[in-house]
Amino acid sequence: MKPPLSKPTAKQLWSAAGLVLLSALLVGCPKKTASGGGDNCTDEFAAGQPQANVDVIKLCRNEYISVYDPQRKVPLVVAEKLQPNEFDGSVSRADNFKPDPDLSAPQSASLNDYRKSGYARGHMAPAADFTSSDEAMNQSFYLSNMVPQDSGMNSGIWASLESATRSCAKQLGSLYVMTGPIFEGKPKTIGDDQVAVPSSIYKIVVSGNGARAFILPNRKLPPARSNFLRYAVTVDEVQRATGLTFFPNGGVNLQAHASFCGGSYGS
């Protein structure tokens, strides 16, 4: 006759719960491949993971990290350590837009949300940053790297700002770049999944302890091939607009307008 099964102790129950919690924390943060390099989910951040006042999912990719808001169905921050060897390759643009494989359907936008919405699927980490790797290029088309963006802005001044940032990275050797949406009040949404439409989009570019930051309204804007100063702000202003803390480990000047790469940004 088998002895009766004993009840698990409190210690055993806490241990099992801990394993479940650890497994949950690791979901959505797959290990980087060798082409990503470095720590598997921190090396794209300049000074620690940006902190948000809402629940987020950290999605780690070969050459960028998306700090993603599953309620709004958009990333709050997409971070890159941008280096010339990542964008000096010959990989062609993929245009293979698709939901992020590490998000469940209720957490993710869908392609149908953007169809006939009047908005482009706006990359936060641009595809042109990843021409050295097929995998990195394909990952850039995950919808977890997109926000609904005005089409004219997307293909006009915003594309020019992205190009200016690559030019700056080529000049300096590497940069940390953070990009994401700003919402004012209750945002407009698109599609059945109610994907939030940002009122503005920001970009923060960091070299050393200095940062250049820009906020551009999410609408068609006059072209600015080489002068983005009308949109220049401080990191502190972006933090106030977003509610995010971008550099929790410190070491980056939040109040000053840095002056590096004047030829790329207009001064």
Task: Check the CA dihedral 245-141-72-56 and report its sign.
Answer: negative
- Return the DSSP state at 131: T
Cα-Cα-Cα-Cα dihedral of 132, 171, 38, 77, to 10°? -90
The pTM (predicted TM-score) of the whole model is 0.85
Whether residue 224 contacts residue 157, with contact meaning beta carbons closer than 8 Å, is answered with: yes
Query: Is position 138 annotated in a ligand binding site?
Result: no
Task: Return the minimum-mean-pLDDT range out of 103-117, 120-134, 214-228, 229-243.
Answer: 214-228
Q: Percent of the chain having pLDDT more than 90?
A: 81
Q: 60: which 2 tokens? A: 């780690």
The structure tokens listed for 47 are 């000074």
Give the pLDDT band of residue 267 (cuts 50, 70, 90): confident
Provide the pLDDT confidence category of residue 30 given band limits of 50, 70 and 90.
very low
Helix, strand or coil for residue 180?
strand
The answer to whether 133 and 34 have CB atoms below 8 angstroms apart is: no
Report pLDDT digits (tens) over 82-95.
Answer: 999 999 999 999 99
Confidence of residue 16 (pLDDT cuts 50, 70, 90): very low
Greater model confidence, 14 or 172: 172
- Provide the token pair at 41: 């989910």
For residue 263, pLDDT beyond 50: yes
- Nearest 5°: phi and psi at 123? -60, 135
- Which superfamily is assigned to 29-265 in CATH? Extracellular Endonuclease, subunit A (3.40.570.10)
Average the pLDDT over 68-81 and give the result: 98
Question: What pLDDT, in 10s, does the model give residues 174-191?
Answer: 999 999 999 999 999 999
Per-residue pLDDT band at 227 (split at 50, 70, 90)? confident
Which residues are catalytically annotated?
123
pLDDT at residue 1, as a whole number: 47
Look at residue 12 in the predicted model and tell me its pLDDT. 46
From its phi and psi, is residue 73 left (phi > 0), alpha (psi between -120 and 50) or beta? Answer: left
Q: Which residues contact 3 (CB under 8 A, 6 or more apart)?
A: none
